[in-house]
Every structure is written in C-alpha cells, then in structure tokens.
Chain A
Amino acid sequence: MPKCTIDGKEVEFKPGENLITVAKRAGVDIPVFCYHPGLTVVAQCRMCYVEVEKMPKLQTACSTNAAEGMVVKTNSENVKKGRAGTMEFLLLNHPLDCPICDKSGECDLQDNSYGHGSAYMRHSEERRTYVDVDMGPVIEKNMNRCIHCTRCIRFGDEIAGIREMVAVKRGNNVDITTIDGEALKTEYAGNYADICPTGSLTLRDFRFRKRAWMLKKTASICEGCSKGCNIELQHEGNVVYRTIPRENLEVNKYWMCDEGRFNYHYTQDETRVLEPRWNNEKTSWEDSILAVKTALEGKKVLFLVGTDLTLEEMSAIREFTGLYYPGSVLQHFGTPGIETSAQDQPADKILKMTSKTSNLRGAEKLGIVPHNPRVDHDFSAAVVFTGGRAVLPELGHAIQVGVGVFLDKDHQTAKYQHILPGLAYTEKDGTIINHQGKEQKLKRAILPRGRSKSTAEILMLLANKKTKVGVA
C-alpha cells in the first residue's frame, strides 16, 4: 500500500482516496462544509484547505487525492490563515440568528467558526437577504443562512434521483431554490435538513420543539420497512422528538426516508391505548388478564404475530402457544400482499422496501407461516400481537384479543373484546432481521408509556397458573 505523511504521521491509503478520508484515519479532522462522503466532490466551500509540500498554493483536501510520498500539513500558519479567510467570507452574509435557528448546537458553521474563524468581524455593510419559497410540508427554508455548499442540490441529483433544487442567479445573488419555486417532491426530503451544514434547510416537524443539545441520543433501528435503516432516536423527558439516520454503509449509507423518519409519531399518538381494555372500557391488568384467560379457555385459538415484533417477542409467543395452547395455530401478518420474503422487493431505487414491517425475515426464520385471510381456519378466538406498524387482518366474528400498540384512530379498537397495551419500537430492546438477513438491535430509548407492559411480561401473566381461570 502506498503511504503519505499527514502532520508528520505516515498513513497508508488506497489509490483514489482523498485527503479528508486519509487524514481522518490518521486522526486529523479537516473542517468541511460542502464535502459529504456520500456525495460527489465539488470543492466549493474552500474550507478544507491543506498545505501540500512542493505545491505553491493551498489545496482543497476534498478534491486532492492522496499520492505516494505526499507530505501534507493541515495545521500550518498558511492553512490557518486560509481557513480564517474562508470563514470570514462565509460569515459575511450569515445572519447572527443562532438563538432562533434550529440548527444551532449541531451546526457545522458554528463549530468551524469557533474552531477556525475569528471572533471579530470587520465588515459593517448590510447583509444580503432573501424572500423564502415554501418548500412543502417537510422542509423549512431560510435562504439568509445559506453558504452555497450545494450539498442539497447534489443530494437530490445523486441520491434522491430527482433534480428539484437548483442554484439560480450568480455571484453574490446566488439563490438555492427549487425549480420554479415548487414544493419538494422527493420522499427523502428529511435528508436535506440532515446534510445542510447550516440552518438553511430545517425540519418543519422539529421546528422550535427542542434545542439540539438538550436531546439524548439512542442508536436504534427503523421499523418502517424491511430495509432496517440505522437510526438515532433523539428524545428528552420520555418524549421522542426526532429520528435521524446513522451511517451504515451496508444498509442505508447516510440516508433514511421520510416515512421512517416521521414514523415515531404514532407511538406518541393521543389515541394510543395505554390501559388494558375490556369491551372498550378501561380496566385493571388483573381483571383483564383473568378475562382473557377465561375467554380463551377450551377454545381453538388463532395466534397472529405481527412481523413488526422483535425476534425475542416472536420466539416467546411461539414457546407460549406451544406450551399453553397446544393445537392452536400460529401465523404471522404484516403488509397485505407481502406474505413471504420472496415478495418483498425494493419499492424504489433508493431505500424503501415493499414490506412495511421490519421483521418478516425473522418470522420466517422462526418457522411461523403467513396468515392467509382467504383460508378459513375454523377458530373461535384470535389473539393478535402487534407492534403497531403491521396492518391488522380482518377476523370476522371470533373473540378477538389484541396485544401490543393500538390506536383508536385507525386500528378499529372497538372490534377487540380485550386489548392489552404493549410496547412500541421506541420502548423496547430486541433483534430484527432485515431484508439482507442482517441481525440488528433495537434499543430502548424511552420508558413505556402509560400502563403498557412488554410482550414477555404479558405472556408471563397469561401463563401464571396462580391467577385461576373463572375467579374474576
């Protein structure tokens, strides 16, 4: 492997790697704005200046490939001066509205200005201002804060596959906007806010709700589809405020779709069932468990597990049904029309899959067969386990028991005789298997809401022989 020297350290590199990647491996962080590892290199912001020996002028590290024997200085006086100059130029027209801006706290411009810029400003002219276009329901735009890094333009072009953002006008008047001022059409619009190094593009959903530094972060997995995108749940005070993608080059690279990003909302919905219900009336866990046991006693029971549950939960349910309800049927359900992993295909060219639940492969691995509503199974009671994401099947007039996350507004909870509230994906640990067969871990971010219990606990209560059937 060829070697080069960065700040006196010898680093090996693969031919074709740029200096930012190589320097990172040497433990040297080069400040960047326009460079993003998932996008093409344009060397537009001029922040990543480095000094290369035998080159007369400063070079941009993002567009300079490492070469054999190259000697790079990232901290010389010249480089510092160059970066300070760049910072001063970038801040010429940047409004000092960090107190208002949602990006502050996680803003590249703040960090780099603090690290490499000057604390004083020499210019006193009026700043350039813009009138902003409406960017649709996902993104809020503030062009005054923009530093023209064009990350958003490149993201739309190269990742989202739709060229919707453009730079119009030239020079000082450059305006980064959508074509004809239309709203964003891509289903990956949330990423615009993630990659924007300033507060120019921010999430409407998150607008003014919390400051970035107040949020606690939990690395988890998205349950929106079988892709299994790596996400970070950001929460505070037992409330999830947003989800952002985590880098995983094998699964989702740096991105996630809007469906997954805003999926967490249902777990905090006002109409979520948070207390055990018996014929649509609130009841205690003791009464509820006894009633369920009585209802299932001596019946042929159909157990349905949603493919949005974790492997651990499915396995516990399988064991439970085998031990306590022998002769019952155990089947899985999830997305209508997608019953096996062979039917689960990419829904677009980027990330989305057709299976809208996360753990279809896991259910198959445990040997659970898909539920077919067309085949009559001759059962008189059904227990439905769901994580809230799977589309609940029609079950006719049998006694129905629901375990898991149910919303009054769209899960038709009135049809269920009993509802035992379970945990949503933000509230539990577990393993899910994505469409590549990768096992990934869900991590609990917040504590269970209301009086909901985990599936394992509910099964334990149902299995407990001390709660005698018929006493209630």
Chain B
Amino acid sequence: MLVKRKPAIWNRLYFVEIIQGLWITFKNFLFHKKVTIQFPEQRRDYSSRYRGQHYIKSVNNVENCTACMLCPTVCPASCIHIIAGEREDKEKYPVKFDIDILRCCFCGMCEEACPKDAIKLSNIYEMSQQNREVYEKDFLLEQRGNK
C-alpha cells in the first residue's frame, strides 16, 4: 500500500539544496580547468589514424589508383563509383572516381582494401557543406594528407 508522506519542512524549503547546487557550479567555474576550446582558433590533436576526408595519393603527379575496383567492392555504403580507362602513360586509370560523400560512413575499408596505396582518409574533419556534394576525381587528387 502506498503511503503518502509529506517531506520534512527542512526539505520543503529547498534552501539547503539550492546552496549545495550553486556551490558545485561555482566550484567548477572558479577552480576547474575548462573542458571546451575556442574551436576555429584552437584545435585538438587527432590521431594520425583518424579517418576524415578522402584523397587519392599521387606520386609525381600520377595517381596511384589503377581502378581495380576493390574499394567499391568492399564499400559497405556503395558510395564509390569508378569508371576505368586507358591512357598513354598508364595502362589502367580511373577516368571517373566519384565518392558520394553523403553516403560514406568513414569506415576506412577502402583504404584497407586498396592494393595500390591510393585511396586515403586524411585528418580533415571539417566537411560541412550546403549542397549534396559528390567528391570528384580532381578534388580527390588534391594531396591533403601525409599518409
């Protein structure tokens, strides 16, 4: 059976509770180190293994990618679309290399599957955009990481 008890007068005043609560607030405000940072000016250090914005590694301005299609095969989000072709200095190269970045889940499997050390995930994490962008080959060929 449910017994209704009135709280003691001490508790009904809430006075002690408010003082206790405010004390914690002031304690953290005055004596603790801040956990937030001033973002655009201050930045955190991320692990070198962080999986951010993609790029295709190129050596001497020739992309490492040979369009072997292992990354679209392994991609769980099916966000990589490649069309292969042939040119003078390279037997097989990607004519089109699109990453549908909205679909990408940054699992890094493409990087892991790549036999040619071509597709990489850089440390860049600022990728907000105002349209549904698809990363195209020219954009991906900008060397934005050091992996």
Question: Please, which residue of chain A has its CB at the minimum distance from the CB of B66?
Answer: A99
List which B100-122 residues lie within 8 A (CB) of chain A: 115-116
Which of these, B66, B73, B91, contacts A214 with CB under 8 Å? Answer: B73
Interchain CB contact under 8 A, A214 and B69: yes
Interchain CB contact under 8 A, B73 and A100: no
Interchain CB contact under 8 A, B73 and A99: no
List which A255-300 residues lie within 8 A (CB) of chain B: none
Residues of A within 8 A of B84 (CB): 208-209
Residues of A within 8 A of B73 (CB): 211, 213-214
Interchain CB contact under 8 A, A208 and B68: no
Interface assignment of A98: CB less than 8 Å from any CB of chain B: yes
Contact with B along A79-112 (1 / 0, CB 8 A): 0000000000000000001111000100000000
Chain B CB within 10 Å, residue with most, of A98, A99, A209, A214: A99
Q: A208-B85, A208-B86 are in contact. Are A100 and B91 (CB under 8 A)?
A: yes
Question: Please, which residue of chain B has its CB at the minimum distance from the CB of A142?
Answer: B91
Interface assignment of B67: CB less than 8 Å from any CB of chain A: yes
Interchain CB contact under 8 A, B68 and A98: yes
Residues of B within 8 A of A214 (CB): 69, 73
Chain A nearest Cβ from B98, distance in angstroms = 15
Contact with B along A194-217 (1 / 0, CB 8 A): 000000000000011101011000
Question: Please, which residue of chain A has its CB at the minimum distance from the CB of B70?
Answer: A99
Residues of A within 8 A of B91 (CB): 97, 100
Question: Please, which residue of chain B has its CB at the minimum distance from the CB of A100?
Answer: B92
Contact with A along B38-82 (1 / 0, CB 8 A): 000000000000000000000000000011111001000000000
Interchain CB contact under 8 A, B85 and A99: no
Residues of A within 8 A of B66 (CB): 99-100
Q: A208-B86, A208-B92 are in contact. Are A100 and B68 (CB under 8 A)?
A: yes
Given the complex of chains A and B, what is the CA–CA distance between A241 and B61 in angstroms? 32
Q: A99-B115, A99-B116 are in contact. Are A211 and B92 (CB under 8 A)?
A: no
Chain B nearest Cβ from A392, distance in angstroms = 36
Given the complex of chains A and B, what is the CA–CA distance between A214 and B82 in angstroms? 13
List which A341-392 residues lie within 8 A (CB) of chain B: none
Chain A nearest Cβ from B73, distance in angstroms = 7
Given the complex of chains A and B, what is the CA–CA distance between A207 and B83 in angstroms? 12
Question: Please, which residue of chain B has its CB at the minimum distance from the CB of A211?
Answer: B69
Residues of A within 8 A of B70 (CB): 99
Chain A nearest Cβ from B116, distance in angstroms = 6
Given the complex of chains A and B, what is the CA–CA distance between A251 and B4 in angstroms? 91
Contact with A along B117-142 (1 / 0, CB 8 A): 00000000000000000000000000
Given the complex of chains A and B, what is the CA–CA distance between A211 and B53 in angstroms? 27
Which of these, A99, A207, A209, contacts B68 with CB under 8 Å? Answer: A99
Residues of A within 8 A of B68 (CB): 98-100, 104, 211
Chain A nearest Cβ from B11, distance in angstroms = 69
Given the complex of chains A and B, what is the CA–CA distance between A72 and B113 in angstroms? 40
Given the complex of chains A and B, what is the CA–CA distance between A104 and B73 in angstroms? 13
Chain B nearest Cβ from A342, distance in angstroms = 49
Given the complex of chains A and B, what is the CA–CA distance between A97 and B90 in angstroms? 12
Chain A CB within 10 Å, residue with most, of B67, B73, B84: B84
Given the complex of chains A and B, what is the CA–CA distance between A85 and B59 in angstroms? 36
Residues of A within 8 A of B115 (CB): 98-99
Chain B CB within 10 Å, residue with most, of A97, A104, A208, A214: A208
Residues of A within 8 A of B85 (CB): 208
Question: Please, which residue of chain B has its CB at the minimum distance from the CB of A96?
Answer: B115
* A-binding residues in B (CB < 8 A): 66-70, 73, 84-86, 91-92, 115-116
| Closest A-B pairs by Cβ, 10 of them | A99-B68, A208-B84, A100-B92, A211-B69, A99-B66, A100-B66, A99-B115, A100-B91, A208-B92, A99-B116
27 A-B residue contacts at CB 8 Å?
A: A97-B91, A98-B68, A98-B115, A99-B66, A99-B68, A99-B70, A99-B92, A99-B115, A99-B116, A100-B66, A100-B68, A100-B91, A100-B92, A104-B68, A207-B86, A208-B67, A208-B84, A208-B85, A208-B86, A208-B92, A209-B84, A211-B68, A211-B69, A211-B73, A213-B73, A214-B69, A214-B73
